[in-house]
Amino acid sequence: MTIKIAIANDHGGLELKQFLKAELIENGFEVLDLGCNSTESVAYPDYGYAIAKAIKNGEAEKGVAICGSGIGISMAANRAPHIRAALIHDALGARLCREHNDANVICFGGRMIGDELARDCLRVFLETRYEGGRHDLRVGKLSTPDFSDNQ
Ligand code: RB5
């Protein structure tokens, strides 16, 4: 079965998005490109929310979110309870965010990381399975935050 990947970026992530999108297609993934597709300045939250929506609607299983630093778009995506977005800079992080955190969105800083490293991180992210077990309770809590005094 083809895995569907949503990819979204602001103007700071456009170049890396184009590179990673081509890699994904070449490797047989179905890519849902949610923009942006120009260098005109846009607001990164719109693109983080677009990924969250696509995953919620079942249009994509996982997402790749890119802005200049990766910080803003990861913050935006993580505001959705069903999203576990991880800002990744190395292959170890790409592996652990899947094994321990069941991350469903990988985020990059287009101005921070090189193409080759991002490609390697993305490959590891997509190939690594969530370990479950002792992580289930913790990961479950990410989707059901409780800010009451009972905690
Ligand atoms: C845009 O200039 C920049 O602020 C944005 O891409 C991102 O780095 C925000 O976190």
What domains can be seen in the chain, in order of their start residue? Answer: 4-143 (3.40.1400.10)
The answer, yes or no, to whether any atom of ligand 1 lies below 6 A from the CB of 68, is yes
Report the residue among 10, 40, 73, 75 best suited for mutation to probe ligand 1: largest number of ligand atoms under 8 A from its CB.
10
Given a cut of 70, the residues of the chain with pLDDT beneath it are 151
Q: What is the pLDDT at residue 90?
A: 98
Buried b (16+ CB within 10 A) or exposed e, 118-142: bbebbebbbebebeeeeeeeeeeee
Please say whether the beta carbons of 55 and 105 come within 8 A.
Answer: yes
Please say whether the beta carbons of 53 and 27 come within 8 A.
Answer: no
Active site residue 11: no
Residue 35 is classified by DSSP as -
Active site residue 97: no
Q: What is the pLDDT at residue 150?
A: 73
C-alpha distances in angstroms, 67 versus 35, 52, 54, 94, 109? 11, 15, 18, 17, 5
Q: Which helix (H) or strand (E) holds 129?
A: none
Please say whether the beta carbons of 54 and 6 come within 8 A.
Answer: yes
Q: What is the pLDDT at residue 151?
A: 66
- Length of the chain equals 151
Euclidean distance between CA atoms 99 and 151, whole angstroms: 26
What's the pTM?
0.97
- Two structure tokens written together for 37: 């597709």
64-91 confidence digits (pLDDT tens): 999 999 999 999 999 999 999 999 999 9
User: For ligand 1, what atom is nearest to the CA of residue 75?
Assistant: 10
Q: Which residues pair with 8 in a beta bridge?
A: 65
